Structure 1
Amino acid sequence: MQLIPGTFETYDEETDERMTRASTYERPHAAARPQAETGDRGPVSEVFLGVDIGTGSSKGVAVRADGRVLARATRPHRTATPRPGWFEHDAETVWWADFTGIVRELLAADGVAARAVAAVGVSGIGPCLLPADAAGRPLRPAILYGVDTRATAEIAELTAELGAQEILARGGSPLTSQAVGPKLRWLARHEPDVWRATRRFFMASSLLVHRLTGEYVLDHHSAGQCDPLYDLDARRWNDTWARQVAPGLELPALAWPGEVVGTVHPAAAAATGLPAGVPVTAGTIDAWAEAASVDALAPGDTMVMYGSTMFLTVMGERPMRHPALWGTTGVRPDSYCLAAGMATSGSLTDWLRELTGSDFATLLAEAERVPPGSRGLLMLPYFAGERTPLFDPRARGTVIGLTLRHGRAELYRAALEATAFGVRHNLEAFADAGARIDRLVAVGGGARSLWTAIVSAAIGLPQQIPAETVGACLGDAALAAQALGVDTAGWNPIVATVEPDEDWRAVYDRRYPLYRELYEATRDISHALADEVTAE
Structure 2
Amino acid sequence: MTLLAIDIGTTHCKAGLFTDNGRSLRIASRMMVTHQTPEGWVYYDPEEVWSTVAATIQDVTQAQPESIAAIGIASMAETGLLVDRSTGQTRSFFVPWFDPAAQPSAALVQSRSDALECYLKFGLRMNFKCGLAKLLWLLQRNPGLLKDTIWLSAADYAAYRLTGVFGTDYSLACRTFAFRVDRKEWDLDWLRDWGLPPGTFPTAVLSGTPLGGVTPGNILPAGIPVSICGHDHVCGALAGGAIQPGIVFDSMGTAESLLGALPERPLTEADFRIGLLYGCHAVRGGGYWMGGVSASGGSVEWLRSLFGNKPLSYQELDALLEEADPDPTGILYFSYLLGSGSPHTNPYMRGAFIGLSALHGRANLLKAVLEGVAYEVELIRRAGEKMIGQPIRSLVTAGGGTRNRHWLQVKADVSGCQIEALAEPASTLLGAAMVSAIGVGLYAGTAEALSALPARAVEVFKPDAERNAIYKRFFEQGYLALQEPLRRYYSNLPPFSTASVSLDE
Shorter-chain TM band: 0.7 to 0.9
**Aligned residue number for residue 31 of structure 2:** 76
Q: Can you list the C-alpha shifts for 1:73-109, whole angstroms capped at 9, x where unaligned? A: 122335456699955333332x32321121111124x
Q: Which amino acid aligns with 2:182?
A: D
Partner of 1:141: 93
Mapping 1:489-508, distance limit 5 Å: 489=451, 490-491=453-454, 493-508=456-471
The one-character-per-residue Cα deviations of 1:107-146 (angstroms, maximum 9, x if unpaired) are 24xxx5222222211111112231222233333332222x
Deviation at 1:523, TM superposition (A): 3.7
Which consecutive unaligned segments of at least 5 residues does structure 2 have? 444-448, 501-505
Residue 258 of structure 2 is aligned to residue 306 of structure 1: no
Q: Does 1:258 align with 2:208?
A: yes
Corresponding residue number in structure 1 for 2:186: 237
Please tell me the residue identity of whatever aligns with 2:417: L
**Residue of structure 2 in register with 1:40 after alignment:** none
Shift of 1:338: 1.1
CA distance, structure 2, for counterparts of residue 412 and residue 85 of structure 1:
31
SS of the residue corresponding to residue 101 of structure 2 reads coil
2: CA distance, partners of 1:445 / 1:339: 19
Equivalent position of 2:294 in the other structure: 343
Partners of 1:311 and 1:342 within 8 A in 2: yes
User: Cα 1:534–1:123, aligned 2, differ >3 Å: closer, same or farther?
Assistant: closer
The code of the aligned residue for 1:192 comes to N
TM-score in terms of structure 2 length: 0.86
Match of 1:206 among 156, 175, 195: 156
Q: 1:179 aligns with which of 118, 125, 130?
A: 130
User: Is the contact made by 1:481 and 1:488 (CA closer than 8 Å) also made in structure 2?
Assistant: no
Deviation at 1:239, TM superposition (A): 0.9
**For 1:459 and 1:79, how far apart are their aligned partners in 2?**
36
Tell whether 2:415 aligns with 1:451. Answer: no
Distance 1:205 1:493 in 2: 27
- 1:528 deviation in Å? 7.0
Residue 472 of structure 1: how far off its partner (Å): 1.0
**Contact 1:447/1:469 (CA < 8 Å) preserved in 2?**
no
Q: Distance in 1 between matches of 2:38 and 2:473?
A: 39
Q: TM-score, normalised by structure 1?
A: 0.82
Picking from 68, 92, 108, the partner of 1:157 is 108
Asked if 1 retains the 8 angstrom alpha-carbon contact of 2:348 and 2:496, the reply is no
Secondary structure at the counterpart of residue 268 of structure 1: coil
Structure 1 residues 432 and 166, CA gap change in structure 2 (3 angstroms): same
Amino acid at match of 1:391: T
The answer for unaligned runs of 5 or more in structure 1 is: 1-45
Q: Secondary structure at the match of 2:279?
A: strand
Tell me the secondary structure at the aligned position of residue 112 of structure 2. Answer: helix
Q: Is the 8 A contact 1:464 1:494 kept in 2?
A: no
The question of 1:283 aligning with 2:196 is answered no
Matched, 1:366 2:317: no
CA contact (8 A) 1:149 1:177 kept: yes
Q: How many angstroms apart in 1 are the aligned matches of 2:283 and 2:6?
A: 20
- Verify the 8 A CA contact 1:293 1:474 in the aligned structure 2: yes
CA distance in 2, matches of 1:143, 1:246: 20
Change (3 A) 1:529 1:152: same
Deviation, structure 1 residue 175: 1.8
Report which stretch shifted further, 430-439 or 451-460. 430-439
Residue equivalent to 2:46 = 91
Q: Distance in 2 between matches of 1:137 and 1:167?
A: 33
CA distance in 2, matches of 1:251, 1:532: 33
User: Which whole-Å CA distance do the structure 2 matches of 1:79 and 1:528 have between them?
Assistant: 35
Among all aligned residue pairs of Structure 1 and Structure 2, give the percentage whose two residues are the same amino acid. Answer: 26
* Aligned length, in residue pairs: 480
> How far apart are the structure 1 equivalents of 2:164 and 2:126?
31
- CA distance in 2 between counterparts of 1:295 and 1:161 reads 40
| Structure 1 residue 516 corresponds to structure 2 residue 470 | no
Instruction: Kindly indicate whether the alpha-carbon contact (under 8 Å) linking 1:67 and 1:492 is maintained by their aligned counterparts in 2.
Output: no
